Chain A
Amino acid sequence: MKDIMIAAAVIAGLTLGVGRADAHAFLSRSMPAVGATITSAPKQVSIWYTEEAEPAFSQIIVTNAAGQQVDKGDTHIDPSNPELLHVSLKPLKPGAYKVHWHVVSVDTHRTEGDFSFTIVSRAGGSS
């Protein structure tokens, strides 16, 4: 038991000793949400990250089921939140869409990911 107490104290000390880090930027949440099914076409895709992103090296690309790009190519950082990126969308029809993103965080770590969302008509179909 003494050994375990010492080990626990070491872990606690190390944890408390670690301040805020400039870690990799991973997706925290998005709008539309990852894997969401929605009934109205969004005008933009927004992604909140866990770290600040470098706008010059960060991009969000949205494609439809045929692989055609449907975003306007204007990935930009939210002026009030450096951890939030937006990209504007062309008018979207019901269907499945894929979002691919890559960002470089302020400490130069590159991360990437992708997710899908689906737009269905109010009658329930996606095409």
Chain B
Amino acid sequence: VGKVARLAVASVCLLMAANSVHHASAHAVCGARVFPPTLTMDDPGVNDELSLPTIQYTPIPATPGTPPGSTMSYGFEWDKTITPHLGFAINGDYITQRGAGENLNGWDNFSLTLKDQFYCDPAHEFMMSAGVVHEFAGTGSAQLLHAGAIDTIGNTAPTLYAGRGLGDLPIGLLRPLAVTAELSYAISDSPNASPNEWDYAASLQYSLPYLNQNVKALNAPDFVKRLIPLVEFAFASPRGGPTTGTVAPGLFYEADSWQLGGEAVIPINAATRLTQGTGFILQYHLYLDDLMPNSLGKPLFAGW
């Protein structure tokens, strides 16, 4: 049992932790609705933004012969518009693992997203985007690769994104509610060795900025008027394997040109709890279109 078993457990735990970091990209505006960048799933828009850092802590439960441990990941995502509605994003995560067999450090594989926001109905605060996400196998650190702790096989995931604000409905103080969703099918570069997988996620948000600006002026400190409580759900269903997922309740603070968000990340079923306990995720997010509107913050081809 010894070292090989501990290494195997460590590798599985690290893979689970790494794969659970599907952190956000662009925020999006449709009509009076601002969809903030979410943390465990992507949002429905395309913009010029930078998530730096995204920090996730994930406890790893003990298993027979292996002590408990934890992973920390430090991620970034850079979103760049090509045209006002078409953009790309680059993701990377530096991962450290302590306990749970092996101590490991290094970069996860990098991924690239190409995304097009093809629909926005301002009156109904409804927007949709479609994209393709590709994970490049072999771009992570050699230490993690040799430990079997990161994917040796890449995948390509066609993805659909949607967001719907409820501000047009006659529901009074519930008008600040919004729902976002994401559905993707990850096609493995080698399906016989690594199965294809459905990934799906949703968020329910209550925007105090929307409440204050469109429904009822709040008699509260400015700090309160910038808060967005929300809950995110994210699931993965690999072909022939158990569905795993997390529920992540949290709170965002929306400044003029940046956002700070934090969520608890809670395993949603027994299959998920085998490999991770309740952790947390924090993200600092910069709106480059506001901070650098004449350089990095504007589309490469603005007239399109």
Contacts and interface: CB of A to CB of B under 8 A. Distances in A.
A18 B257 contact: yes
Interface residues of B, number: 29
Contact of A112 (B32, B257, B258, B284): B32
Contacts of B212: 27, 34
B93 interface: no
B258 A18 contact: yes
Contact of B256 (A21, A36, A113): A21
A94 B215 CA distance: 20
B215 A35 contact: yes
B29 interface: yes
A115 B212 CA distance: 10
Interface string B246-278: 000000000011101000000000000000000
Contact of B286 (A14, A27, A51): A14
B215 to A, nearest CB: 6
A97 interface: no
B209 A7 contact: no
Contact of B284 (A11, A29, A36): A11
B251 to A, nearest CB: 15
Contact of B213 (A3, A7, A14, A34): A34
Nearest to B260: A11
Interface in A25-61: 26-27, 29-30, 33-36, 50-51
A14 B214 contact: no
A36 B256 CA distance: 25
A26 B209 contact: yes
B21 to A, nearest CB: 14
Interface string A1-26: 00110010011001100100111101
A107 B293 contact: yes
Given A114-B32, A115-B213, 13 more contacts: A7-B55, A7-B74, A11-B53, A11-B282, A14-B284, A15-B284, A18-B257, A30-B217, A35-B216, A36-B217, A51-B256, A107-B293, A113-B213
16 contacts: A10-B53, A10-B284, A14-B52, A18-B257, A18-B286, A21-B291, A22-B290, A24-B29, A50-B256, A51-B256, A107-B290, A109-B289, A111-B29, A113-B213, A113-B214, A114-B32
